[in-house]
Amino acid sequence: MLADDESRPVRLRRLRKTPALRALVRETRVSAQQLIYPMFVVPGSGVKSEIGSLPGQFHWSVDRVADAARSVADAGVSGLLLFGQAVIRSASGSEASAPDGITQRAIEAIKSAVPDLVLCTDVCLCSYTDHGHCGVLDGEEVDNDASVERIAQVALSHARAGADVVAPSDMMDGRVGAIRTRLDSHGFVDVSIMAYAAKYASAFYGPFREAAGSAPMFGDRRGYQLDPANIRGAIREVELDLDEGADIVIVKPGLTYLDVVAKVRSRFNVPVAAYVVSGEYAAIKAAASRGWLDERTAFMETITSVARAGADVIITYSAPDVARWIAESRSR
């Protein structure tokens, strides 16, 4: 018995004693319903080809993508983020908005096979232009206003094909407002916009650019993506996108920009998504393949940290695995 004037020892470890106790007081819980899985659709038929820089991820042709999407849904994942590539690239990325384009046909196939899956589509030009930049060029500079017009056309074509959510990733000024106006004027008032609002010029996109065939032929994207050193600029971008009609805002990359995720979460009362990007995913896969860390534990810790920072939606290449691991842990 402690005397009244004695200090009672602090025993914070009591609630860490057993798995059940730890689960009881856990502050952050990740659900499969929070997850969106990126998928890459390419020209051809019968294609299922593993992406060298993204172990466990594949290129799919339109005739095979619906079955792949169904398996993702069966794992418990709520949504897909679809990336397409052109058959023939052009200066304006004309195939990006073609009614019979790769992405448009994939949307139709997936919605027919798995209608309840939330289908999001990346809206950009980089995988469709012959120069690899995210917009239309004027000389060697990206023309903001001409690019916005093209991006709005692409978003409309995705909505017509059946997309639930369009996700402009180009980082052109004013593109969210242009997309919202274009969608509404054509009767697509219920199609949501998930804007890449705080998209940084990151070194962690390397594997994605191989997967999407989106590396620029010259220069880089620092003239339109955010400087990694800045956070006030990210808040301003988010604010503008919301003013223009964005329904969800994305912070990209997610894992290496958790401070930005937390700042956006605390500042804005809207759904916040974080994209755990290709380089972040590939780094864990590479380390796990060498036995340097446990893959399952590392991915679950990563996803939990993103949710803890404030992300409501998590876009990740590990989504199907994470969904299965969550289900397994609950069945024990």
In a domain, 177, yes or no: yes
Query: Which residue's structure tokens are 């534990």?
Result: 297
Query: Which residue's structure tokens are 């697509």?
Result: 188
In a domain, 2, yes or no: no
In a domain, 217, yes or no: yes
Query: Which residue's structure tokens are 């027919």?
Result: 112
pLDDT at 91: 83
Handedness of CA 89, 92, 96, 101 (dihedral sign): negative
Q: What mean pLDDT do residues 92-112 have?
A: 94
In a domain, 134, yes or no: yes
Q: Is the pLDDT of residue 140 over 80?
A: yes
In a domain, 24, yes or no: no
Contact between 230 and 177 (Cβ < 8 Å): no
pLDDT at 84: 94
In a domain, 1, yes or no: no
pLDDT band at residue 223 under the 50/70/90 scheme? confident
In a domain, 7, yes or no: no
pLDDT at 182: 98
Domain count, the chain: 1
Provide the residue range defining the domain that includes 232.
Answer: 29-331
Tell me the percentage of the chain whose pLDDT exceeds 90. 77
| Tokens describing residue 251 | 């912070």
pLDDT at 323: 97
Please state, in angstroms and rounded to a whole number, the distance separating the CA atoms of residues 224 and 199.
9
Please state, in angstroms and rounded to a whole number, the distance separating the CA atoms of residues 205 and 275.
11
Reported pTM: 0.93
Tell me the percentage of the chain whose pLDDT exceeds 70. 95
Q: What mean pLDDT do residues 218-245 have?
A: 90
Please state, in angstroms and rounded to a whole number, the distance separating the CA atoms of residues 304 and 203.
23
In a domain, 14, yes or no: no
Q: Is the pLDDT of residue 57 over 90?
A: yes
pLDDT at 5: 56
Nearest to 113 by CA among 173, 146, 72, 76: 72
Please state, in angstroms and rounded to a whole number, the distance separating the CA atoms of residues 168 and 243.
15
pLDDT at 131: 82
Catalytically active residues are 199, 252
Q: What mean pLDDT do residues 211-237 have?
A: 82
CATH number (domain holding residue 248): 3.20.20.70
Query: Which residue's structure tokens are 């010029």?
Result: 201
